[in-house]
Amino acid sequence: MTLTPRAGRPLKVLAAMSGGVDSAVAAARAAEAGHDVTGVHLALSANPQSFRTGARGCCTVEDSRDARRAADVIGIPFYVWDLAERFRQDVVDDFVAEYEAGRTPNPCLRCNERIKFAALLDRALALGFDAVCTGHYATVTTAPDGTRELHRSADAGKDQSYVLGVLDQRQLAHALFPLGDTRATKDEIRAEAERRGLAVARKPDSHDICFIADGDTRGFLAGRLGTAEGDILDEDGEKIGTHDGAYGFTVGQRRGLRIGRPAPDGKPRYVLDISPVANTVTVGPAEALDVTVLTAIRPRWCGAAPAGPAAYTAQLRAHGGETPVVAEPTDGGEGLRVRFERPVRGVAPGQAVVLYDGTRVVGSATIATTERAGASRV
């Protein structure tokens, strides 16, 4: 969606303002372009003090105040919307359940899908707004046939299209990303915020999971799932250590295994598999992590679903690189099979695989199983 008002008519824009610099500048740009902008801060915790404190750009009382001050400088109305219960159910509870099942979720991707571009967008449209504006680094364009396309940001270091790969055509039609549209880097955004008099210009970015106050994911999960001692096994099934809960591990993990004895060859060992039923964690050498094929579920397409196998590039982590693949829908469109041209490592069930055609985001799906060089594992 362009920043230019349509046929001279400004859009009614709801700007999601986290309290950070990106969303503040995005809201300011939308207002400067002539749109009728209203700022909103999403209260995502029933007790915001329980989330991290300090200038982190997400989920704290300080952040809501920073967002309000930015709205005052921009000169737009500002509200706080309570989405704490929806956030708990759709993001936090989902996060815990996925780890309990031995999978590795991405809560930011889930928040974009279910909160910012579902709960928030639905409420915005019901109130007569035309679009939701956020500070994501990505670009939305219109194809010749009128469909909306999601593309990478020009600043590769800040690109956030991976966590937006869950958006469908309806959501893209009402999405406004002013930062990606203008090819700005993060340093330029901060300089612009200073010129606009926004106090958040030098506020640190938030990098961790917003609802885990101290960044201790394993401790957070233990507080909700309890401890459950189990075995750490080598590839031959021999017990070489114990753990306090299989949920505290992820495929590809190297640190924190607490294995008393080294591997026979002296090389580091990595988590290869997690079995929540048996409550075991299997470890082995790095080369045992080589994945050649994955299957995924719940595909979401930014446009039309592919009709058959096609060549793309795939991204497997929010800050990961791209790798060439051939992907095709399966199970009547309910699944996806992705074959890698070269083996990749550290692919964990529960993560998202996002497909790209050049800079265009084709769609995403949740990884269900992987096939490894010489073996097949779930």
Helical ranges in the chain per DSSP H: 21-32, 61-74, 84-87, 93-100, 107-111, 120-126, 169-172, 178-181, 186-195, 217-225
Geometric angle at alpha carbon 32, from 154 and 135, rounded to 5°: 40
Q: Under DSSP, is residue 162 helix (H, G, I), strand (E, B) or coil?
A: helix
Contact 70, 27 (CB under 8 A): yes
CA 66 vs. chain centroid, Å, equals: 23
3-state secondary structure at position 187: helix
Choose, from 59, 108, 133, 210, the residue flagged as catalytic: 210
Which residues have C-beta within 8 Å of that of residue 80, sequence separation ≥ 6? 40, 41, 42, 43, 64
Given the residues 58, 111, 133, 302, select the one marked as catalytic.
111
Burial 198-230 (b: 16+ CB within 10 A, else e): bebbebeebeebbbbbeeebbebbbeebeeeeb
Catalytic site residue 111? yes
302 catalytically annotated? no
Whole-number Å distance between alpha carbons of 219 and 99:
13
- For 312, phi then psi, to 5°, come to -140, 180
Q: Report the alpha-carbon distance of residue 45 to residue 211 in Å, rounded.
A: 8
* Interaxial angle between packed helices 21-32 and 186-195, expressed in degrees from 0 to 180 and rounded to the nearest 10: 60
- Residues serving a catalytic function are 111, 210
